[in-house]
Amino acid sequence: MLNTDLNLLKVFDVLYQERSVTRAAARLALTQSAVSHALKRLRATMGDRLFVRVAHGLEPTARASAIAAQVQAALASLQNALATPEFDPGRSDRQFRIMAGPYYCRTVIPRLVAAVRHSAPQVTLRVVAPGPDLFAQLDAGMLDLAFMGEEVLPQRLRSAHLVNEEAVWVAQRAETMPEEAATREILARAPRVLIVNPRRPLGFDQPVMFETTAMALHVPASEHPANLPTEPGVAAVVYDAATAIALVENTDAIALVPRRLAESAVAGGRIMVLNRQAPGGTFPLAMVWHARSDDDGGMVWLRAQISALFATPGDQAGGNTLPGLRMD
């Protein structure tokens, strides 16, 4: 019995229920000849006739009746073990591990946690800081998902576009500003807060997450980190855009920061956006996961929650128009 083909057990179970080769063949989508052949193999394996012909079809032998319930239970157990488990967010206590940089922690994670708390109150999101070993952590199952900029990935990884971010200049909100001050020259003369990633000062030369520090790539060439010691007009050099915005709120300096990160500060009334086109265009942002979790019910649900955060018109390419001073 230990060497019995599992398909034969399935034939046995259906024959026991239907008591007819014809009906069993129809239910199994097999020919009657194939079912008869399977029954012949079962009889040889079990050393018992299992089913005998009677006027109304097939009658199970005592041996067949004795093992029928066990075979049916074994097949059901195996089917449950091999089936893709369903994910019930309302009852799940699963923990999802997400890698996110400062930008995502301020613009995405709070909204994601709120959405998850609403539909899955027992689910936990564990957010970890970016690191150079992102791919290795996804491979090892130490991470479920990561936020990053769009880039070419190994075939074993998957990604989905979320939104296009852009850079904007921000300055301290002034109660009044003369019209003659609204010129390109004021932007050129204002002291600046530069955002420089100390780990990657030259930009996207390694596959890591998009962070607010990447905005350092889009300042004029004369303000490249290599020129900072002698370059005039630099008020401060920081490693993240949130710090840059805080400095702008309290000084006369300006900074180039992600638009979505500037939104909350603008709403607070302490800074304004200088509506002059910033260099660098837009930044396509994405979420990344390992291919093995493509069909994982929990991961499918989590990715849907994240995608829903960017489904509103204000979160599509181009973003919202923030109030500010026209500098063109």
Highest mean pLDDT among 27-31, 119-123, 134-138, 220-224: 119-123
Average pLDDT over residues 287-295: 93
Reply yes or no on whether the pLDDT at 231 is more than 60: no
Tokens (6 digits) for 6: 């599992």
Residue 90 lies in a domain: no
Give the mean pLDDT of the chain: 78
Q: 256: how many CB neighbours lie within 10 A of its CB?
A: 26
Residue 1 lies in a domain: no
Examine the domain organization and report whether 156 and 290 are in the same domain.
yes
Phi then psi for residue 54, to 5 deg, are -135, 180
Evaluate the CA torsion angle 217, 220, 226, 231 in order and state its sign: negative
How many structural domains is the chain composed of?
3
Pairwise CA distance, residues 191 & 284, whole Å: 29
What percent of the chain is predicted at pLDDT more than 70?
Answer: 75
Examine the domain organization and report whether 151 and 181 are in the same domain.
no
Examine the domain organization and report whether 145 and 275 are in the same domain.
no
Residue indicated by tokens 């970016």: 130
Tokens (6 digits) for 322: 């923030």
- Name the amino acid, one letter, at 106: R
Tokens (6 digits) for 328: 């063109």
Residue 231 lies in a domain: yes
Examine the domain organization and report whether 213 and 275 are in the same domain.
yes
Examine the domain organization and report whether 134 and 108 are in the same domain.
yes
Examine the domain organization and report whether 241 and 198 are in the same domain.
yes
Pairwise CA distance, residues 47 & 40, whole Å: 10
Residue 87 lies in a domain: no
Examine the domain organization and report whether 149 and 296 are in the same domain.
yes
Q: Provide the CATH number for the domain around residue 147.
A: 3.40.190.10
Examine the domain organization and report whether 243 and 180 are in the same domain.
yes
Examine the domain organization and report whether 245 and 263 are in the same domain.
yes
Last residue of a domain, one of 82, 108, 137: 82
Give the pLDDT confidence score for residue 159 in this predicted structure.
Answer: 93
Give the pLDDT confidence score for residue 83 in this predicted structure.
Answer: 67
Tokens (6 digits) for 193: 């807060």
State the helix-helix crossing angle for 32-46 and 6-18, rounded to 10 degrees: 110
Average pLDDT over residues 145-150: 90
Q: Band of the pLDDT at 233, cuts 50, 70, 90? A: confident
Examine the domain organization and report whether 188 and 41 are in the same domain.
no
Full domain range(s) for residue 131: 95-163+283-315
Closest among 268, 262, 260 to 317, alpha carbons compared: 260
| pLDDT tens-digit map of 74-86 | 888 887 777 666 8
Q: Band of the pLDDT at 173, cuts 50, 70, 90? A: confident
Last residue of a domain, one of 82, 109, 135: 82
Q: Provide the CATH number for the domain around residue 18.
A: 1.10.10.10
Reply yes or no on whether the pLDDT at 223 is more than 60: no
Tokens (6 digits) for 186: 């004021």
Reply yes or no on whether the pLDDT at 240 is more than 90: no
Give the pLDDT confidence score for residue 108 in this predicted structure.
Answer: 93
H helices of the chain, in order, are 6-18, 21-28, 32-46, 62-82, 102-107, 109-119, 134-139, 184-189, 241-250, 259-267, 297-309
Residue 12 lies in a domain: yes
pLDDT greater at residue 275 or residue 323: 275
Pairwise CA distance, residues 141 & 277, whole Å: 42
Q: In angstroms, how far apart are the furthest CA atoms of the chain?
A: 106
Residue 89 lies in a domain: no
Reply yes or no on whether the pLDDT at 229 is more than 80: no
Tokens (6 digits) for 48: 């018992």
Residue 88 lies in a domain: no
Reply yes or no on whether the pLDDT at 235 is more than 90: no
Pairwise CA distance, residues 239 & 260, whole Å: 18
Closest among 57, 69, 249 to 170, alpha carbons compared: 249
Examine the domain organization and report whether 159 and 170 are in the same domain.
no
Reply yes or no on whether the pLDDT at 215 is more than 70: no
Examine the domain organization and report whether 50 and 180 are in the same domain.
no
- What pTM was estimated for this model as a whole? 0.63
Last residue of a domain, one of 82, 106, 140: 82
